């Protein structure tokens, strides 16, 4: 892929990440979000956050298999959008659903496993936001620091799938599919898998 395609990829990623939010705001303003709009807001913002987080994890395997380094530039951007949707998901949950009643929120989080796992996923993903500034990344997060940050992101993805799985009461096929995808994407991070892909690419070349 030519280098000039990289800015187009970034633009496409911005549009694709913001379009669901624009549609959601439009439908909410027109009263088209089912009979329970607040629950629909909670569900859809959480789902969009999970999709974007999975896509950010997919950037490394796609780059490894295709040999297109430009795809890696989308990883950080998609991760930040995933965090933004996660934060929006949390704000809608504690603000519109509970009216920022901290006592009620605390009791509900402790009583419901899916809420507790969701909070854990948010806390695991939060460091990615603070480490997103390139200067901070270069000066502070080197070597093991970057590995620690990446592992927190992997943990956040697993917790997000767990949150989704616990929240669904009947048909759990979709969260299980996302769980399988996340596990598969994490397998690409294993050193022996990386070496195998590198050898495969060399043989193809």
> pLDDT tens digits for the chain (205 residues)?
444 467 888 999 999 999 999 999 999 988 888 888 888 999 999 999 999 999 999 999 998 888 888 888 898 899 999 999 999 999 998 888 778 888 888 888 888 888 899 999 999 988 876 666 554 555 455 555 567 777 888 999 999 999 999 998 888 999 999 999 999 999 998 888 888 888 888 887 6
The confidence score (pLDDT) of residue 147 equals 75
Q: Angle 41-43-49 (CA atoms, 0-180°, nearest 5)?
A: 100
If we measure between CA atoms, which residue out of 24, 82, 23, 15 comes closest to residue 49? 82
Looking at residue 35, the DSSP 8-state letter turns out to be S
Residue 112 main-chain phi, psi, to 5 deg? -115, 120
Taking the whole predicted model, whether its pTM rises above 0.75 is answered as: yes
Q: At what angle do helices 113-130 and 102-111 cross, to 10 degrees?
A: 110
pLDDT, tens digit, 9 for 90 and up, residues 78-108: 999 999 999 999 999 888 877 888 888 888 8
Distance CA 82, CA 17 (A): 9
pLDDT, tens digit, 9 for 90 and up, residues 172-193: 999 999 999 999 999 998 888 8
């Amino acid at each position: 892929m030519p280098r000039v395609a990289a800015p187009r990829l970034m633009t496409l990623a911005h549009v694709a990440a913001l379009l669901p939010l624009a549609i959601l705001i439009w439908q909410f303003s027109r009263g088209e979000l089912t009979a329970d709009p607040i629950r629909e807001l909670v569900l859809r913002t959480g789902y969009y956050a999970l999709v974007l987080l999975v896509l950010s994890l997919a950037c490394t395997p796609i780059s490894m298999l295709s040999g297109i380094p430009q795809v890696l530039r989308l990883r950080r951007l998609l991760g930040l959008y995933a965090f933004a949707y996660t934060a929006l998901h949390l704000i809608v949950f504690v603000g519109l659903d509970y009216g920022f009643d901290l006592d009620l929120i605390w009791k509900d989080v402790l009583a419901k496993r899916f809420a507790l796992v969701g909070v854990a996923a948010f806390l695991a993903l939060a460091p990615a936001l603070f480490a997103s500034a390139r200067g901070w990344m270069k000066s502070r997060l080197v070597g093991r620091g970057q590995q620690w940050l990446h592992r927190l992101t992997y943990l956040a993805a697993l917790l997000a799938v767990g949150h989704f799985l616990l929240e669904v009461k009947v048909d759990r096929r979709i969260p299980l599919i996302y769980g399988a995808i996340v596990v598969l994407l994490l397998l690409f991070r294993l050193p022996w898998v990386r070496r195998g892909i590198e050898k495969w690419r060399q043989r193809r070349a």
